[in-house]
Amino acid sequence: MIKNILRTPSFLWTAAVLLVLLLVPFFAGRFYVYILAVVFVTGLLAMSLNLLVGHGGAYQFHHCVFYGVGAYTAGLILAKTSLPAWVGLCAGPLAAALTGLVIGAFCVRLNKLYFGMLQISLGSLIWIVALRWYDLTNGDDGIHGIPMPELLSGSVNAYYFLLIVVSACLALMYLILKSPFGATLRAVRDNPQRCEAVGIDVRRHQLLAIVIGTFFAGVAGVLFVVLEGSVFPDMLFWVLSLEIFIMCLLGGWFTFFGPMLGAAIMVALRTFVGSYTDYWTLILGVVLILLIFFLPEGIMGVNFRSWQRRRERRRSADAVR
């Protein structure tokens, strides 16, 4: 089975892209290395949301809270305690997954929009605490200059660390989505009633998906701390949650790498358009409306469709022959 996977074109493409990314620091300037690293973090965050929304069908309206919780946990442990750095880096995703478990346990009792509204409420409580607890979190200012271990400091070191962790997370996510659990999750998304009828515990599957998704969001949060050395309350603010939605929409909901592509486009827009004009959110809004009207399945979604159609045509041609 593994041999088969290794031979598929999508695997070869992935390996080629990975190789190029490994070599980037040798020929690209520091600025571009940094931008790529930002794309990795944002992309992982978007893909963790897609795991829940695109594949799990959950109305995860306030996903960035878990990203923020992961980042704040790691940042606080690194900046305010004398524990070894790896404790902080590991505690971030765990704290995010634990928060996901608690919030998710309340949310899965409800469906659709109520799920989302409840999550916005519970998430906002965490945001407001982070914003107001000056003694712990420095409130509005956030925490800056978080000390990093030698191995992870410097933009190139951070880049490689991020590349390794993000690749590992994506591989893990891919395996999860290919597993029977992933298949069940999509079944729950498409028809919860029928799943309930054949004996699948819908809520438990959704809750498990939330824990997994929030864990990866926490990883993204920790990686943000590694890259930027700072945390601030805007990481928990609901506007960011909606921005992650845009990334997923941009890249394509039901595709695997779509959200990563969406994140890359978003980061590029913010960096390059944002340096020309103060009104880049206006442009983002217009792009979003155009997407909703003309490309509701995202860039990858459309590609994926036409690619699938072509493959089917080829297959039927083979059959005739």
> Considering beta carbons, is residue 21 or 287 the nearer one to another protein?
287
Among 44, 148, 246, 247, binds another protein (CB under 8 A): 246
288 binds another protein, rule: CB under 8 A: yes
Among 113, 136, 151, 168, binds another protein (CB under 8 A): 113
CA distance 75 to 214: 17
**Shortest Cβ 286–another protein spacing (Å):** 7
**Shortest Cβ 132–another protein spacing (Å):** 6
**Shortest Cβ 26–another protein spacing (Å):** 38
Sign of the dihedral defined by the CA atoms of residues 112, 247, 73, 176, in that order: positive
Phi, psi of 201 (to 5 degrees): -80, 95
Among 32, 114, 272, 307, binds another protein (CB under 8 A): 114
CA distance 42 to 170: 13
Cβ atoms 300, 257 nearer than 8 A: yes
- Mark residues 118-157: x for contact with another protein by CB under 8 A, - for none: x-xxx-xx--xx--x-x-----------------------
Closest CA to 254 of 319, 190, 180, 310: 190
- Segment interacting with another protein (CB under 8 A) among 89-97, 148-156, 176-184, 286-294: 286-294
To 5 degrees, how large is the angle CA 265–CA 12–CA 39? 20
101 binds another protein, rule: CB under 8 A: no
User: 122, exposed or middle or buried, with CB in 10 Å at 0-12, 13-18, 19+?
Assistant: middle
CA distance 218 to 119: 17
159 binds another protein, rule: CB under 8 A: no
Among 279, 307, 308, 313, binds another protein (CB under 8 A): 279
265 binds another protein, rule: CB under 8 A: no
Residue type, 175: L
191 binds another protein, rule: CB under 8 A: no
**Shortest Cβ 44–another protein spacing (Å):** 21
- Segment interacting with another protein (CB under 8 A) among 23-31, 187-195, 275-283, 309-317: 275-283
Among 238, 265, 271, 273, binds another protein (CB under 8 A): 238
Question: Which residues, 48 to 87, sit near another protein by CB under 8 A?
Answer: 53, 59
**Shortest Cβ 171–another protein spacing (Å):** 28
Radius of gyration of the chain (CA): 20
307 binds another protein, rule: CB under 8 A: no
**Shortest Cβ 104–another protein spacing (Å):** 13
To 5 degrees, how large is the angle CA 200–CA 257–CA 152? 105
**Shortest Cβ 267–another protein spacing (Å):** 17
> Considering beta carbons, is residue 150 or 278 the nearer one to another protein?
278
**Binding residues for another protein, per CB under 8 A?**
53, 59, 106, 109-110, 112-114, 116-118, 120-122, 124-125, 128-129, 132, 134, 237-239, 242, 245-246, 249, 278-279, 281-282, 284-286, 288-289, 292-293, 296
